[in-house]
């Protein structure tokens, strides 16, 4: 969670750049009851700064599960400590793909991010299935 004030200009820039989509789970901020937040990709306690290139748009759930973490354990491979997906430095499609409502990891980075952010938790899959049925998932990046 941020302790530094984020200016309205930076907030607008980050939301616009993300086209209103959570940069982790591809949910649209228009489809969520709880407001999206600006996530410090590298948390301030690790020295991350409050600048556009260290911020991403995140839904409440992705941000809550991520917290200030930078990495997690790749239990499916060699139990290595692997950094989380970084939306500013990496491309979503290279680390994940959608199979219906499931977010399937393609890499170690994808695996630890799906695991830590609980991207395929039962209730999140249920919500995505509903949004798919309504034709509003995945969020359309412009």
- DSSP lists the bridge partners of residue 102 as 99
Window 118-137: residues binding Zn ion (CB under 5 A): none
CA gap 93, 91 in Å, rounded: 6
Among residues 25 and 114, whose Cβ is nearest to Zn ion? 25
Among residues 59 and 82, whose Cβ is nearest to Zn ion? 59
Q: Binding-site residue total for Zn ion (CB under 5 A)?
A: 5
Among residues 39 and 74, whose Cβ is nearest to Zn ion? 39
Write down the least CB distance from residue 35 to Zn ion, Å.
12
Per-residue H/E/C for 101-130: CEEEECCHHHHHHHHHCCCCCHHHHHHHHH
Residue 52 Cα distances to 34, 55, 116, 118, 123, angstroms:
22, 5, 24, 25, 31
Among residues 34 and 80, whose Cβ is nearest to Zn ion? 34
Among residues 22 and 84, whose Cβ is nearest to Zn ion? 22
Decide: is 22 part of the binding site for Zn ion (CB under 5 A): yes
Write down the least CB distance from residue 119 to Zn ion, Å.
8
**Strand, helix or coil at 80?**
coil
* Residue 41 DSSP one-character state: S
Write down the least CB distance from residue 29 to Zn ion, Å.
10
Window 54-113: residues binding Zn ion (CB under 5 A): 59, 62
- Interacting residues with Zn ion (CB under 5 A): 22, 24-25, 59, 62
């Amino acid at each position: 969670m941020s302790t530094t004030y984020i200016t309205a200009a930076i907030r607008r820039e980050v939301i616009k750049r993300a086209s209103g989509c959570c940069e982790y789970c591809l949910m649209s901020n228009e489809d969520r009851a709880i407001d999206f937040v600006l996530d410090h990709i590298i948390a301030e306690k690790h020295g991350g700064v409050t600048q556009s290139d260290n911020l991403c748009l995140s839904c409440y759930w992705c941000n809550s599960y991520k917290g200030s973490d930078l990495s997690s354990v790749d239990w499916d491979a060699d139990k290595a400590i692997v950094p989380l997906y970084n939306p500013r430095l990496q491309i979503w499609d290279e680390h994940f793909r959608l199979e219906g409502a499931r977010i399937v990891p393609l890499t170690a980075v994808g695996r630890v991010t799906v695991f830590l952010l609980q991207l395929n938790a039962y209730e999140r899959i249920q919500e995505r299935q509903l949004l798919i049925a309504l034709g509003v998932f995945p969020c359309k990046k412009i």
